[in-house]
Amino acid sequence: MELYIPPPSFFPRMLPPKPVVPAVPIVPLPDLPEVLHAPEGAYHLNPDLLPFIGNPAHPTALDVQKQNAASNAFLGGAAGFMAPPGGPGQAVPTGATAMSFGSTIVNGQSQPAWPVKMSFVNVWFAPKAVGGERGGFGNLLGGGKGNSGARGGDGSGGPDYSQPPPMTGYEPSISSDSSSPPLSDVFSPPMEFPMSPVPQQGGSKRMPFGKGQNSNNSNTNALPRPKNNLRSSNSTFVTRLQALDNLPKVLAEKARSGTGEFIRWGFWNLGRTFAWGEEGGKVKEPLARVTFSQISTCHAVSTYTVSPERVDIIVGFASGDLVWLDFVLGKYTRLNKSGVLNNTAVLGVHFDPRQPHHFIAHFADSTILRFNLFAEDPANLSTAQVKPWETYLKDEQARLSASTSRVAINSSTAGSTKNGSSEAGDSEISDELIRWKNEDWALLSPENARSKDKVTSIWAGKNPIAAVKIGKSKVNSMTYSPDGRFLAVVSEDGCLRLVDVAEEQVTDTFAGYFGSLTCIAWSPDSRFVAVGGQDDLITIFSPRESRIVARCQGHSAFVTCISFDQSRGESRAYRFASVGEDGKLILWDFSAAALQRPRHHHSNSSHHRINGAGSTLSLPGHSRSHLPLDGKTSNFHPAPPRSEVALLQPVMARIVEGTIITGVYMLPHAVITMSRAAVCKIWQKPPKSGNTHRPKGAGNGGGAGGREGGRERRERERDRE
């Protein structure tokens, strides 16, 4: 008997095979130079000038194994020792390093979550007193006070080495025309304002800074300092502190020659770390590095209070937090804790030159909050609570939008009646500065403290001091002028807005040639501002005369960063550098002679008038009498055509990176470029003419490069003739 088994009535559905996705090809990097030739000589790569900033790449399995094997070792802190996160013996998870946190792989290179940003400050180390030590370094160093024993300070008639000497200028380029009239005899001094104290209940404490006093003196030690200790903090926001074991000894050895010494400190943020290093020092490692639980996005160092005993730093984070940090003291204070005031990423932090204890923070939602460095956040405030400035700014923007719409309709109707077309394009640009002021800030002042009424406002004496919105579009970048008179703001709508800080209003709005504007930089004397953007151009404006000066053409992609050389040579010319997404480093020389004779342009192309507002040269010796008296009084300046603006050609242009370059920094002895992959390149400047001494940390091999640079310079001079 045979058993009959019927065939199955249901057949499982077979999934189709997954298509094979080809791997993304990696574009090979071009051959990158190690020497750059400029008219003044050759720039050589010198990686030893700065400590290694770090690596954003994720660790391999072998790296994790080595790190776990060494996890029992303690790390030397600024004033003690700290264990690595997780405790001894615990494994470090793969890909969880502080520098590689949030990094991605692009074209085979690891890119951190946020671009690396750097800043540098000059610190004067006065000579030690005879028979004693220099003043203490906070928690790092102890010792005597004062410099009464410094040479020249006792009335002996010798040089006073206790005071910093003037910084020597660097000659921008020997091709600059030194016969041109000087742009300015002296730099404009910063505006000096008294530092207002933080309101305190039941009394007042006089701040040591007064009008006309110098902030870089011993009175800075009397200012409030951060409160929380970095090495013994119970907060989970600070997870690790690493510092040199002999850091006090390294700092104590400065200025042992008896004549004082200028030291340049550098600071940078990478991933969840923030580091401090020295340019050209004997130590080839960072002096200290702090690891946080959030990604750091930007920072600012106060140049008004920096000294060997104090350095005030504000670090911004992707969570909206702000940290007031002092490496020398070894302490910190947290502001906008957990984004209680604004929970969007911090895009920029800037100290106010007029009031050194105030700084502004630019957030991702284009809100600008003004903080007092010595004030705290309001207590019992939640992130979900609606802030008073949010409602005020929103209502004001709605009111201005309705008013602008009515003006646009009327302008469109008038334009159609007269010319048959609409002329309301300029009305779409919003130039209004909306400002909310903390009216309860002074309720705890001594005058109000005598009142019998009890203060109930949570904003009394608390941050923020003010909140600002500028225009409707997203703000990309902003920076104060060195003299503190203007705040320059560039945004996605392709406009540069100049804000008069004293008047608190937008004075001029300049339209870009094409696309949005991305970066901005001021000249050292605050006379000019250079702006780069998506039009591949760099435009130079004159805020004092409200006009465009010149355009610089040389990039083939978006411009990402501009930096001026803060020292000027005898030629009275400006030197600035620019980088972009094309991987180029370009050097420019900007002088009166270069504008009077623009290359590849008609001799009169730089003297055209643009809509009465003018695009004439803003240089000494040029009169404004040729402008019409009945010119346009609006503060909006449209972009003039290229044919009507002087065009500057680069002094040097070379591709130095195979990826996007996000930062450039001009130091007295080097030019530093920072790529999106956190690759830092230090280009050593050539020595000045007749000076064979190279700066500290410079490498060898400059002779051949100098001869080659001189040969190339002579060839260029023959071509011009």
3-state secondary structure 428-440: HCCCCEEEEECCC
Of residues 675 and 233, the one with the higher pLDDT is 675
CA 619, CA 599: separation in Å to the nearest integer?
18
Residues facing residue 585 across a β-bridge: 579, 654
Does residue 606 surpass a pLDDT of 50?
A: no
Structure tokens at 295: 């990604």
Residues 585, 686: contact at Cβ < 8 Å? no
In this prediction the pTM is 0.77
Does residue 384 surpass a pLDDT of 70?
A: yes
Report the pLDDT value the prediction gives residue 29, as an integer from 0 to 100.
85
Task: Kindly report, residue by residue over 484-499, the tens digit of the pLDDT.
Answer: 999 999 999 999 999 9
Structure tokens at 123: 């610190």
Nearest to 127 by CA among 153, 101, 105: 153
3-state secondary structure 528-555: CEEEEECCCEEEEEECCCCEEEEEEECC
Report the pLDDT value the prediction gives residue 287, as an integer from 0 to 100.
94
Report the pLDDT value the prediction gives residue 699, as an integer from 0 to 100.
42
* Close Cβ partners of 344 (under 8 Å, ≥ 6 residues apart): 320, 363, 364, 365, 367
How many whole angstroms from its chain centre is CA 7?
Answer: 76
Integer angstrom CA distances of residue 149 from 124, 126, 156, 357, 476: 17, 11, 11, 32, 50
Side chain identity, residue 71: S
Most confident by average pLDDT, 88-97, 114-123, 456-465: 114-123
Residues 286, 274: contact at Cβ < 8 Å? no
CA dihedral 363, 367, 370, 375 (to 10 degrees): -70
Compute the average pLDDT of residues 454-469: 84
CA 345, CA 323: separation in Å to the nearest integer?
13
Q: How far apart are the first and last CA of the chain?
A: 113
Residues facing residue 105 across a β-bridge: 110
Residues facing residue 564 across a β-bridge: 576
Element housing 371 (H / E):
strand 368-372
Percent of the chain with pLDDT over 70: 64
Reduced to 3 states (helix: H, G, I; strand: E, B; else coil), residue 84 is coil
The model's confidence at residue 79, banded by pLDDT at 50, 70 and 90, is very low
Report the pLDDT value the prediction gives residue 708, as an integer from 0 to 100.
41
Element housing 417 (H / E):
helix 388-419
Of residues 720 and 366, the one with the higher pLDDT is 366
* Mean pLDDT (the chain, rounded): 74
Does residue 75 surpass a pLDDT of 50?
A: no
Structure tokens at 240: 């690790």
Structure tokens at 458: 């949570």
Nearest to 39 by CA among 170, 175, 223: 175
Q: Write out the E strands in 406-526.
A: 433-437, 466-470, 475-480, 486-491, 495-500, 505-511, 517-522
Q: Are strands 574-580 and 559-564 parallel, antiparallel or unpaired?
A: antiparallel
Residues 456, 480: contact at Cβ < 8 Å? no
User: Judging by beta carbons within 10 Å of its beta carbon (0-12, 13-18, 19+), is residue 672 exposed, middle or buried?
Assistant: buried
DSSP state of 200: B
Compute the average pLDDT of residues 667-673: 94
Nearest to 481 by CA among 530, 516, 437, 545: 530
The number of CA neighbours under 13 Å toward the Cβ of 426 is 12
Compute the average pLDDT of residues 537-554: 91
Q: Are strands 505-511 and 495-500 parallel, antiparallel or unpaired?
A: antiparallel
Q: Would you say the C-alpha torsion 57, 60, 66, 72 has a positive or negative sign?
A: positive
Structure tokens at 556: 């083939």
Of residues 168 and 274, the one with the higher pLDDT is 274
CA 679, CA 654: separation in Å to the nearest integer?
17
Does residue 91 surpass a pLDDT of 50?
A: no
Q: What are phi and psi of 706, to 5 degrees?
A: -65, -40
CA 520, CA 283: separation in Å to the nearest integer?
33
